[in-house]
Amino acid sequence: MANETPMPLTADPDDGQAPPATTRRATVAALESLLYAPIPVLDHGFVRVIDYMGDDAAVVQGARVSYGRGTRKVSQDRGLIFYLMRHRHTSPFELCEIKFHVKLPIFVARQWIRHRTANVNEISGRYSILDREFYIPDPGHLAAQSTTNRQGRGGLLEGEEAARVLAMLRADAQTTYDHYELMLNERDTGETIDPARQGLARELARINLTLGTYTQWYWKIDLHNLMHFLSLRADPHAQYEIRAYADVMLDVLAKWVPLTCEAFREYRLGGLHLSATGLAIVRRLLAGEAVTQATSGLGKREWTELMAALARDATPAA
């Protein structure tokens, strides 16, 4: 596990809170109202904001390397932020940071940890007994393997097949957790199961748990790298379970830095990056030329993606 540390297993609303105080640093009222409040995700997960530094004005200040707000108008700040996003000037966005407390299934955490631009501290199964909580997909997300994408989902499982899969997921998770407690000789309540028997070390007993078991961590990241994370994980092609967390964090982003989030949606989430060949194809199409995949210079997959983005038929008549 990533940098294992003892950590409370529940979302205590008072955990880490400082008493009310005045401050000279920039605060964002919409985000202040979210601090420490768990936002539910999936069946047992949550995201909550623990702390943050900076706001839209801090991005502008960092870009201009000046002090104070002066007489600038919001429209001027918005124009500069949009310029920075449009031209990929990323360093001003790195000056803002945010820290989350996240409760998530282990298999989601293993996808998440691939983003190596954050500071992470995860609860440790060496010190703590993990909760009897595991992710069971909603039937509406129980899909078959895609036949066209090795890392995607196809049509939904239905009827007896879906019921059988859900029953296996529940039974396996319950059974492995029962064995986990028996090996520990201790329940998650702290109760000893058999006083006459010594339990297995926690660091060994945990290896039997399923990847659907919930873990928790604190995750701190700067604004630029958060947007990179969201550009990949809030994308429709991302796995549903991690996308559910990204969607919540995208809402947090909109409350924290609304101008930056607007620019991010415009140029990253809703925009399209074209290769040199792709741009040449668009120019040819605008000139009225009939371009096909065979004459485009693109491979079949890239051609199909470009035509989908342009809302055009990928296989027009030659």
- Single-letter amino acid code for the residue at 55: D
- For residues 28 and 50, give the distance between their C-alpha atoms in angstroms, rounded to a whole number: 14
Q: Strand, helix or coil at 105?
A: strand
Averaged confidence pLDDT in the chain: 89
- Single-letter amino acid code for the residue at 105: P
Element (H or E) spanning 202, and its range?
helix 202-205
DSSP letters for 252-267: HHHHH-HHHHHHHIII
Give pLDDT, residue 4.
59
Domain over 4-134+212-269 is classified CATH 3.60.20.10 = no
**71 backbone dihedrals φ, ψ, rounded to 5°:** -110, 20
Residue whose entry in the numeric block shows the structure tokens 């954050």: 118
- Number of helical H runs and strand E runs in the chain: 12, 8
Does position 27 have pLDDT exceeding 70, yes or no?
Answer: yes
Q: What is the pLDDT of residues 168-215, one digit of tens each?
A: 999 999 999 999 999 999 888 888 988 999 999 999 999 999 999 999
Long-range (24+ apart) CB contacts under 8 A made by 86-93 are 86/263, 86/267, 89/63, 90/224, 91/62, 91/224, 92/59, 92/60, 92/62, 92/63, 93/59, 93/222, 93/223, 93/224, 93/227, 93/260
- For residues 224 and 183, give the distance between their C-alpha atoms in angstroms, rounded to a whole number: 44
Beta bridge partners of 134: 213
Confidence of residue 8 (pLDDT cuts 50, 70, 90): low
Give pLDDT, residue 291.
93
Does position 70 have pLDDT exceeding 50, yes or no?
Answer: yes
Q: What is the pLDDT of residues 264-304, one digit of tens each?
A: 999 999 888 899 999 999 999 999 999 999 999 999 999 99
Give pLDDT, residue 1.
47
**Active-site position among 48, 202, 206, 233:** 233
As given in the structure block, the two tokens for residue 279 are 């741009």
Domain ranges of the chain: 4-134+212-269, 136-211, 276-309
Does position 21 have pLDDT exceeding 80, yes or no?
Answer: no
Beta bridge partners of 217: 102, 122
86 is catalytic: no
- For residues 202 and 127, give the distance between their C-alpha atoms in angstroms, rounded to a whole number: 7
Does position 317 have pLDDT exceeding 60, yes or no?
Answer: no
Give pLDDT, residue 12.
61
